[in-house]
Amino acid sequence: MANRKLIKWIHKSFLTFLIGSKNPIFFKIGFLPTFKNVKKIMCSYLYSTTNYRGNLKIMQCQPYKLHGFSLLEMLVVLVIIGLLAGLVGPRIFGTIEPSKVKTANVQIKMLKAAVGTMYLDIGRYPTTEESLAILRTEPADETIKPFWKGPYLEEALPLDPWNHPYQYSVPGGDGHPFALYSFGADGRTGGLDYNADIGYLLPKTQQL
């Protein structure tokens, strides 16, 4: 009961202070105690009325209004975003393809190392028919099955950065025992720049 009287006294004293001011007051009230509950009041300003009670001038509180964005403001923001995308976008996307080429080279070297490890175990390189699948799957050839210590990759065979399978065949070009390569961005043999084949390629006589 005492607490209720204290809150009521604070409430009346605070309102009396605000109402007694002769000049408009611009403020925002957070939480103002009332007689029954605590009501959140947000005010943009107090303004005078023509109502008087003796020498006490009555002030009224206009609720604070949240204004959204106008159509024009939204269009301006969209134009600015478009300009920024036009400036920054090409620089960002221009670094993607070189990164994919580097990733392909790293993966090809990893696969080559796995093939080399298996060669030490079974004494030969995979045939074109066996391909790279033999790095993960036990061979059907009974003569080498006892020597196969795979899998030689911890995870499934990776695809190249353009989501195409790596190519493998025997023999390879430039004296390599096998060819292991990616078709590049276009997913086809040959090509220039980022479409060029990457890795240990076929003999030149077999290249288109």
Residue 76 lies in a domain: no
Which amino acid is present at 198? Answer: I
Share of the chain above pLDDT 70, in %: 62
Same domain? 133 vs 198: yes
Give the domain extent around 181.
96-206
> Which band of pLDDT confidence, cut at 50, 70 and 90, is reported for residue 206?
low
Report the distance separating Cα 52 and Cα 3, nearest Å: 31
pLDDT tens, position by position, 126-185: 999 999 999 999 999 999 999 999 899 999 999 999 999 999 999 999 889 999 999 999
Alpha-carbon distance values, 37 to 4, 7, 10, 34, 62 (Å): 10, 10, 14, 5, 20
Check if the beta carbon of residue 29 is closer than 8 Å to that of residue 64. Answer: no
Q: Quick check: helix, strand or coil at residue 180?
A: strand
Q: Check pLDDT > 70 for residue 207.
A: no
> Is-above-0.75 flag for pTM?
no
Contacts of 126 (CB under 8 A, 6+ apart): 115, 118, 132, 134, 135, 168, 170, 178
Q: Check pLDDT > 60 for residue 6.
A: no
Q: Which of 41, 63, 85 is the last residue of a domain?
A: 63
Check if the beta carbon of residue 26 is closer than 8 Å to that of residue 45. Answer: yes
Residue 68 lies in a domain: no
- The whole-number pLDDT of residue 117 equals 96
- The whole-number pLDDT of residue 161 equals 95
66: left (phi over 0), alpha (psi -120 to 50) or beta: beta
Q: Quick check: helix, strand or coil at residue 43?
A: strand
Q: Say which residue, 137 or 49, is predicted with more confidence.
A: 137
Q: Say which residue, 50 or 80, is predicted with more confidence.
A: 80
Residue 73 lies in a domain: no
pLDDT tens, position by position, 108-127: 999 999 999 999 999 999 99
Same domain? 45 vs 135: no
- The whole-number pLDDT of residue 49 equals 41
Among candidate residues 132, 72, 140, the one with its CA nearest the CA of residue 108: 132
Same domain? 20 vs 106: no
Same domain? 130 vs 186: yes
Q: Say which residue, 4 or 56, is predicted with more confidence.
A: 4
Report the distance separating Cα 82 and Cα 77, nearest Å: 9
pLDDT tens, position by position, 55-98: 444 444 444 455 667 888 888 888 888 877 777 666 666 678 89
* Sole residue written with tokens 């006294």: 9
Instruction: Tell me 128's DSSP state.
Output: T
> Which band of pLDDT confidence, cut at 50, 70 and 90, is reported for residue 3?
low
- The whole-number pLDDT of residue 201 equals 92
Same domain? 59 vs 125: no
Check if the beta carbon of residue 185 is closer than 8 Å to that of residue 93. Answer: no
CATH of the domain at 113: 3.30.700.10
